[in-house]
Amino acid sequence: MEDRVVAAESRQFVLFHLGTEEYGLPIERVQSIIRYEQPTPVPHAPSSVEGVINLRGQVIPVIDLSMRLLGSPFSGETTARIVVAEGHSGLVGLVVDSASEVVSIPLDEIMPAPVAALSPDTAEAFEGVANLGERLVILLDAEKALPKPEFMTPAIQEGDMDV
């Protein structure tokens, strides 16, 4: 009889930092990681939308993920990156303090997010947490963490445009 090692099913995540916390986003949603560049501001955008950038001929919105998830603005570190990810309405740039690596995490090592410790506004954005050695990584649910179309496009209020 042959001894077989059954490999645990795993998922790959791109890891990045927001402040002192480490987060992971499923790699299948990440298109690229670029150096931070100052976005062009967009009038009447939500507070977590920094503006837009032109990436290889495509204009994409840039979201301050720290503001969206933690309620505190991006710190402007020199290691800052923009994680370009596929969102509900197309590509979106997510400003992070740094992007570090890609890791494979076995599915049986992903624990549920501690809902009691999260705010109601952001609890749904977290898929779970995983231990990587001494590090605890917060895993984001890409469907819920990335902005939805209604979040991205503020409604034009009557009187906002001259006709």
Amino acid letter for position 45: A
* Residue 52 DSSP label: E
d(CA 12, CA 22): 15
| pLDDT tens digit sequence for 125-159 | 788 899 988 899 999 887 777 665 544 444 333 34
- Separation of alpha carbons 61 and 103, rounded Å: 27
- The token pair that represents 68 in the structure block: 């969206």
52-66 pLDDT, tens per residue? 999 999 999 998 888
More confident site: 156 or 12: 12
Tokens of 120: 């109601």
Residue 8 reports pLDDT greater than 60: yes
Q: Taking the model in full, what pTM does it have?
A: 0.78
Query: Which residue pairs, CB below 8 angstroms and at least 24 apart, start in 130-133?
Result: 130/24, 130/105, 132/103, 132/105
Q: Which domains does the chain have, with CATH numbers?
A: 10-147 (2.40.50.180)
Give pLDDT tens digits for 86-98: 877 789 999 999 9
Residue with structure tokens 């994680």? 83
- Residue 149 is which amino acid? P
User: What is the side-by-side strand order in the sheet with 81-87?
Assistant: 30-35, 81-87, 90-96, 58-64, 49-55
| Residue 45, pLDDT score | 86
